[in-house]
């Protein structure tokens, strides 16, 4: 193992990419990458998307091993939805601070305080949190699902910013907020965005709803990472002010190479996502480790709110 690591350390990016492509075939591996990981990993991945898109896609791919380039709750979701497949990650210690901001004790405390309550968990949560929730949501389906729930009281966890956005859109519900937040989106500030708007009045402002309400209010388009990317593909604006993690710029630039993309702050980078590297990806595929392993009972409990989300989403489409 030590010898292999020393040999791998000497490999350049081109050699790593070639090795990754070879290992895909030799070991029947599909590589999934979140929009926020490093550009070179996006380029070598078989599929790129947001966390839930990829977890759902993993279920349908023919490969029996999934290598998920993202943060650990994403690997968990892929394993929960595809229990018969092996799930490995380049860096299984890459975590999500927001996902860790909610505890099961807090959830149970709120459950005890309210009748007619639905616990709605953002998909960006740990398996343990999902297991204590009634339904999961993504940033693209959260409004429709919350509106469709029969319960009057909604405990939205853990993101206070996405929760506040939902609360503003569904006044008929009593949305109870947790105080978690995404460290990246929470740091995007109104003055920086306004300064860019004043300097570029023809540019469209794209905002992820994990940003604070004051920033969301400035958005021409507010939505999930995929929604923002789709907007770039179809809109004819000369440029965009992008209020989400900078990793999405790689796909936006591919989608609209003649456009300019600006980010308001230098802190729009998720360090956890950037822990995924080509070297770690190659090593994970080479050794088939680290592997996502979960307790069977926890997987079954965490599957329920994910299945509920899929059921509600399907009914909403009809």
Quote the mean pLDDT of the chain. 93
Is there a contact between 188 and 264 (Cβ–Cβ < 8 Å)? yes
Task: Please report the pLDDT score of residue 235 as a whole number.
Answer: 85
Give the model's confidence band at 80: pLDDT under 50 very low, under 70 low, under 90 confident, else very high.
very high
Alpha carbon 314 to its chain centroid, in Å, reads 21
Task: Please report the pLDDT score of residue 254 as a whole number.
Answer: 96
Q: Residue 122, SS3?
A: strand
Instruction: Name the class of domain 2-95+273-287.
Output: alpha beta
Say how many C-beta atoms besides its own lie within 10 A of residue 237's C-beta.
19
Say what the pTM is.
Answer: 0.91
Is there a contact between 86 and 64 (Cβ–Cβ < 8 Å)? yes
Task: Please report the pLDDT score of residue 276 as a whole number.
Answer: 97
Say how many C-beta atoms besides its own lie within 10 A of residue 12's C-beta.
9
Is there a contact between 203 and 241 (Cβ–Cβ < 8 Å)? yes
Task: Please report the pLDDT score of residue 75 as a whole number.
Answer: 95
CATH of domain 99-183+298-317: 3.40.50.10800
pLDDT tens digits, one per residue of 160-169 = 999 999 999 9
Task: Please report the pLDDT score of residue 58 as a whole number.
Answer: 87
Domain at 188-262, CATH from 3.40.50.10800, 3.40.50.300, 3.30.2000.10, 3.40.640.10: 3.40.50.10800
Q: Residue 136, SS3?
A: strand
Return the higher-pLDDT residue of 83 and 51. 83
Give the model's confidence band at 316: pLDDT under 50 very low, under 70 low, under 90 confident, else very high.
low
Is there a contact between 292 and 87 (Cβ–Cβ < 8 Å)? yes
- Backbone φ/ψ region at 116: left (φ over 0), alpha (ψ -120 to 50), beta: left
DSSP string, 62-108: S-SEEEEES-HHHHHHHHHH-TTSEEE-S-TT---TTGGG--HHHHH
Alpha carbon 78 to its chain centroid, in Å, reads 12
Mean pLDDT of 157-161: 97
Residue (of 278, 267, 228) closest to 248 by Cα position: 228
Chain region(s) in the chain for CATH 3.40.50.10800: 2-95+273-287, 99-183+298-317, 188-262
Residue (of 287, 223, 240) closest to 86 by Cα position: 287
pLDDT tens digits, one per residue of 175-233 = 999 999 999 999 999 999 999 999 999 999 999 999 999 999 999 999 999 999 999 99
Return the higher-pLDDT residue of 10 and 86. 86
pLDDT above 80 (res 17) = yes
* 117-122 β-sheet, strand order: 135-137, 117-122, 153-157, 174-177
Spatial CB neighbours of 169, under 8 Å, sequence gap ≥ 6: 143
Task: Please report the pLDDT score of residue 4 as a whole number.
Answer: 43
Say how many C-beta atoms besides its own lie within 10 A of residue 228's C-beta.
25
Q: H-type helices in the chain, by residue range? A: 2-9, 13-27, 39-44, 51-60, 72-81, 104-113, 127-131, 142-148, 160-169, 183-186, 190-199, 213-216, 225-234, 249-255, 278-287, 296-317
Say how many C-beta atoms besides its own lie within 10 A of residue 48's C-beta.
22
Task: Name the DSSP class of 34.
Answer: E
Is there a contact between 90 and 276 (Cβ–Cβ < 8 Å)? yes
């Amino acid at each position: 193992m030590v010898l292999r690591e020393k040999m791998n350390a000497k490999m350049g990016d081109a050699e790593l990419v070639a090795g990754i492509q070879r290992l895909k075939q030799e070991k029947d591996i599909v590589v999934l990458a979140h929009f926020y990981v490093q550009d070179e990993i996006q380029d070598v991945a078989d599929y790129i998307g947001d966390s839930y898109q990829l977890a759902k896609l993993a279920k349908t791919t023919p490969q029996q091993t999934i290598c998920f380039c993202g943060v650990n709750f994403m690997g968990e979701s892929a394993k929960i939805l595809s229990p018969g497949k092996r799930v490995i990650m380049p860096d299984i210690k890459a975590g999500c601070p927001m996902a860790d901001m909610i505890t099961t004790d807090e959830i149970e405390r709120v459950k005890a305080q309210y009748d007619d309550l639905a616990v709605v968990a953002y998909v960006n949560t740990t398996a343990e949190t999902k297991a204590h929730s009634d339904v999961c949501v993504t940033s693209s389906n959260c409004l429709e699902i919350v509106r469709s729930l029969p319960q009057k009281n909604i405990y939205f966890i853990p993101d206070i910013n996405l929760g506040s956005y939902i609360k503003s859109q569904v006044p008929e519900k009593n949305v109870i907020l947790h105080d978690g937040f995404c460290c990246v989106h929470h740091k995007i500030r109104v003055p920086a965005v306004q300064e860019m708007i004043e300097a570029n009045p023809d540019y469209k402002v794209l905002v992820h709803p994990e940003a604070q309400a004051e920033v969301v209010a400035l958005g021409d388009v507010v939505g999930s990472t995929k929604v923002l990317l789709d907007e770039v593909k179809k809109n004819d604006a000369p440029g965009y002010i992008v209020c989400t993690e900078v990793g999405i710029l790689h796909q936006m630039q591919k989608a609209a190479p003649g456009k300019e993309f600006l980010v308001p702050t230098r802190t729009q980078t998720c360090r956890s996502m950037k822990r995924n590297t080509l070297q770690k990806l190659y090593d994970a595929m080479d050794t088939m480790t680290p592997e996502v392993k979960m307790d069977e009972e926890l997987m079954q409990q965490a599957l329920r709110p994910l299945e509920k989300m899929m059921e509600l989403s399907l009914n909403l489409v009809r």
